[in-house]
Chain A
């Protein structure tokens, strides 16, 4: 299962960053695929990016919402919020575990064998909700300049994926941009290094503490169409699920947790008693597998 997940993560990363002509064009992809939403956090200003980043797109629309309303266009990011809402309702936070390029990078960094690994203080996990509500929705909408324009706060001041996937590559591709470097870039570079170094000692620190997209998807974990469920009758409360969880949760004590990225390691690697099952639309996948096995026999 873990190999399948890694393969899926790599394929998703290549599909959302599949424009390999950028060294020739020295620019970002400008084709029709950019109409599609990247399910994970993936900067659309990355030269290889083929899709749009939902978090970036929401901010870009909200910061100019006054102009849009004045010109008679009712753009308030309903298309983007609708898209990620549909993804969240159907699959919860499974996107974080299986499709997010920045999640994959953090997992690879965590594999570096260095000293003792650390856990994130639980209180820091609430920061991502502040990022979602304030930096993605409220600040771009409400904190405007004299002309009524806001700023993409999360992208501008925080997003390490943007610096890594877009900022640094664009500076290499377009040397003229280097003349504009200043505090903004160095601030973002600082945060990028913090998260990359932190990822070596802590599992997925950005997902746990800061990612607004993870915060959004996590809200659907209890009600999503695809989800992990606890079979209470089978659970011995041995705690084996907590030992393998990359998000540091104990499934039997926190079923449907907003932190769960549905990597399914607890179900496949840890639980020996069949106490965790994958369900879709209320039907157990393991039960379906048993039925199909019986039919084959």
Chain B
């Protein structure tokens, strides 16, 4: 299996992303391509900008010690001795020798490496109201039109990603052809998905192509699911 590695260096900071799938790397690389070409040289890219710290006031907690006083004093004495010993042994590293490694975990939008993403994305699935019961007691699956309406479908591309998610997670159909998708998409939106939309999604790593019974089909990738959850979920 191939390995894909994306390394970003900025001054002393370094970010490295390693994955077994090229889709995530391609997606991240695309994001850097945009900022790389449009960015002024002297400003740091988004990933290296410091986030504003959020401070929250914490209610003081009252702690009750059940230990008798001599034992508490003994424990405190042991702690002080331990700290003193530790301070003697440890040497402070020189600042210029430190390499700041920003882990993929801290990178934006919860995108980690592909293997982690595959584990995280399904866990972050929103509780879908995909089935509801009619007054007659029948279980009905939410229509694509309703699903689009409950999520942030601002353009045809986002509608396509939402529809791919709908197929995969609501209808439990992991792969679809353009014809299959349009059979539900057109009645809901009045427009058709064409190959340019699919190609864009594929370039951004949101859609994978698979072959089933000699037919090319598409499936929403883990990066696509993550994009839906973070950007399009209503």
Question: Are these two chains actual partners, yes or no?
Answer: no
